[in-house]
Amino acid sequence: MPKITLPDGSERQYDAAVSGAEIAASIGSGLAKAAVAVRVDGEPWDLTRVIENDARVEILTRDSDDGLELLRHDAAHVLAEAVKELWPDTQVTIGPAIENGFYYDFSRKEPFTETDLETIEARMQEIVDRDEVIEREIWKRDDAVAFFRGIGEEYKAEIIDSIPAGEDVSLYRQGDFIDLCRGPHLPSTGKLGKAFKLTHVSGAYWRGDSNNEMLQRVYGTAWSNDKQLRKYLHMLEEAEKRDHRRLGRVMDLFHFQEEAPGAVFWHPKGWSLFQSLIAFMRQEQNAAGYQEINTPEVMSRSLWEASGHWESFGDNMFTTETVDGRMYAIKPMNCPGHVQVFKQGITSYRDLPYRLAEFGKCHRYEPSGALHGMMRVRAFTQDDAHVFCTPEQITSESIAVCNLILGIYRDFGFEDVRIKFADRPEVRVGEDAVWDQAEAALVSALDASGLEYTHNPGEGAFYGPKLEFVLRDAIGRDWQCGTLQVDLNMPGRLGASYIGEDGEKHLPVMLHRAIFGSLERFMGILIEHHAGNLPLWLAPVQIKVLTITSDADDYAREVIAELRARGLRAEADLRNEKISYKVREHSVAKIPVQFAVGQRETENRSVAIRRLGSKKQQVMSLADAIQALLDEVEKRASQD
RNA sequence: GCCCACAUAGCUCAGGGGUAGAGCACUUCCUUGGUAAGGAAGAGGCCCCCGGUUCAAAUCCGGGUGUGGGCUCCA
């Protein structure tokens, strides 16, 4: 006689043990239809599983986050069933729900083709039409291992084998397909609906280990209804329009070519934007007490051996051997160079904290498959800095860095920033006692700053723990940009020290920090965040002056001269073309402000202003227009 | 690095064992037009590279390089 308590606090008494489906039906037919699973005392259960005792029960509907995840998980099972029907000698492995969809990893000799995807998708729809009952079964672990081994599913058997002996496992059966799964699942395949689509195939290593066999992964997306599916597919198209590689071309910012994989060829407009980013950062960090330096790009291999980089990353460094047989490395980082500058001057604790910054161009031989537009390159520019300080100064310096980073992100319109604390990795340099100290210092700085953060275990740098600053862009994607690392190892390895108040030699603490991270990557993120519609203060060409007829050419030249004299980046378009033609071309090129000038404007020294994205025009005196734009630049305002 | 796909004009792409195609961009001419493409003509190609098959390869096959989607990696 279970008493069921619903989330709103109401209670229902049932005469006998009752299933989630029955509870939902007793509340309403609409709910019964939308229900996909239940949560019983916080634990997700199948809708058909019988509840014997008093419990708190929550009905999960297909529209809820949990319900959607379940649908996606079911879609993965239906995918696996379809593949097993079509190609019985394919082995199944794992198939989880992921953000926006699902995937399933299969082991087979022949990779899937694009045509196979269509075939599989059609079969999945048949399985949905068949409306097969999905049943939960509890097996003894060893029986399950023997069963899967018996039907040739070695991977499945291996997974179950890694579950502690003596534990029972749950299997789910739908039609002739049976799979190990924690559940819960839908009561039948028909409930999945057809708002799913297979999207692409790729390779994926078994258990995520590159030493293992490469499996064939099929990705798909799944939603609660067709409308949601269409909305998602539309969002993908919109994201593609924002692609910085496409916009970099239409905005004439940069290009890549085969002779320099992973390295940017900057065009005048792209370099202008790059310089704007540097100018801004320079101003902000000078104000925060940093001094800018520059260190060599090519240094002897011995320095990298001393720093520990050679051992950890030697395979990923560009090297160069001179005719006399000396081996040099092209710098992958700036820190060893900064330590050399520290060693040349600083001897006293009175000089600390000592903050050195560099816009250093680094080269890393990234795996070819990792390259991706400007987001992952082999030649990039870091806004790198190192704060040399005493152990007592770690907290205050770390807080200052956090505030600097968050403030700068706000200036770029990134308000949603997450912080992750990454501690010691398995492969590292230095004593554990030193790591204890560095991690504790970073955590205490975080606690003192009052900022929220999450824990990212084992993801620290080889020389110290770090904070990762992750910003979320306009369409909800996360990008890790900034970093703050506490390093108690490198100064000692490279022989840096200072004389403390006590007259003794001490090792300085080194805080590594970057805010943009890579300027190339940050620019890519900025372009995609703004969909190319850069805020006025960053736009390489801020104003285009378009003439209606050639009678206005002289006035247009005057306007350009005036704009440039006031520090605005402006270009004229005096071509013998119709105004619509010019407007379209510069709109496509994402120029934020267009001034149209014709006879009327020439006569009263005005401009007809059209902002990117707007179809309206505003006529204003040239003087007022310039002032308004200067104000906007000063405020670093974003249009969106 | 690994799996799959792709590589044709500046760009976006069609084609396909035997003179290389379109749209846009570009050049010239006409047009001086008030807010997202005015008209005409012209020029533009080692069909990514190296091999092989073939009477004949841009096309088929193999290898390489690059790019894309993932996996692994990211000091």
Q: Give the residue from A291, A504, A513, A506 showing the smallest Cα distance to A392.
A: A506
For residue A364, indicate whether it is catalytic: yes
Q: How confident is the model at residue A314 (pLDDT cuts 50, 70, 90)?
A: very high
Instruction: Considering all nucleic acid strands, name the nucleotide whose C1' atom is nearest to the C-alpha of residue A597.
Output: B34
**pLDDT tens per residue, range A219-233:** 999 999 999 999 999
Q: Which residues pair with A130 in a beta bridge?
A: none
**C-beta separation of A321 from A311 below 8 A:** no
Report how far residue A201's alpha carbon sits from residue A100's, in angstroms, rounded to the nearest whole number: 16
**pLDDT tens per residue, range A422-432:** 999 998 999 99
Does residue A241 reach within 7 angstroms of strand B, measured from its CB?
no
> Model ipTM?
0.95
Residue A265's SS3 state is: strand
Q: Give the residue from A552, A551, A568 showing the smallest Cα distance to A560.
A: A568
**pLDDT tens per residue, range A251-300:** 999 999 999 999 999 999 999 999 999 999 999 999 999 999 999 999 99
Q: Which two tokens stand for residue A621?
A: 């005196």
**pLDDT tens per residue, range A7-23:** 998 999 998 999 999 99
**pLDDT tens per residue, range A54-76:** 999 999 999 999 999 999 999 99
DSSP assignments along A227-246, one per residue:
HHHHHHHHHHHHHHHH-HHH
Nucleotides of strand B under 7 angstroms from a protein beta carbon: 1-5, 11-12, 30-38, 65-75
**pLDDT tens per residue, range A108-117:** 988 898 889 9
Catalytic one of A181, A335, A389, A481:
A335
For residue A185, indicate whether it is catalytic: no
Q: Helices in A99-174 by DSSP H: which ranges? A: 114-130, 141-150, 154-161
**C-beta separation of A361 from A380 below 8 A:** yes
**pLDDT of amino acid A347:** 87
For A560, list phi and psi in degrees, rounded to 5: -60, -45
Which residue is closest to B30 in terms of CA–C1' distance?
A: A576
For residue A512, indicate whether it is catalytic: yes
**pLDDT tens per residue, range A376-393:** 999 999 999 999 999 999
Tell me the average pLDDT across A619-631. Answer: 97
In this structure, the strands spanning A379-389 and A417-422 are unpaired
CA dihedral A183, A188, A192, A193 (to 10 degrees): 180
Mean pLDDT of chain A: 95
Q: Long-range contact list for A630-634, CB < 8 A, 24+ apart?
A: A630/A566, A630/A567, A630/A568, A632/A536, A632/A537, A633/A536, A633/A537, A633/A542, A633/A568
For residue A481, indicate whether it is catalytic: no
| pLDDT exceeds cutoff 80 at A372 | yes
Angle formed by the axes of helices A622-635 and A553-565, to 10°? 40
**C-beta separation of A114 from A155 below 8 A:** no
* Residue A552: how many other CB atoms lie within 10 Å: 21
Q: Give, in Å, how far the C1' of B63 lies from the CA of A257.
A: 22
**pLDDT of amino acid A639:** 58
For residue A309, indicate whether it is catalytic: no
Catalytic one of A386, A513, A544, A590:
A386
Q: Model pTM?
A: 0.94
Give chain A's count of helices (H) and strands (E): 20, 35
Q: How far apart are the first and last CA of chain A?
A: 58
**pLDDT of amino acid A358:** 98
| pLDDT exceeds cutoff 80 at A406 | yes
Report how far residue A550's alpha carbon sits from residue A93's, in angstroms, rounded to the nearest whole number: 70
Does residue A458 reach within 7 angstroms of strand B, measured from its CB?
no
Q: Could you tell me where the beta strands, DSSP code E, fall in A191-325?
A: 196-205, 214-222, 254-255, 265-266, 291-292, 298-300, 319-321
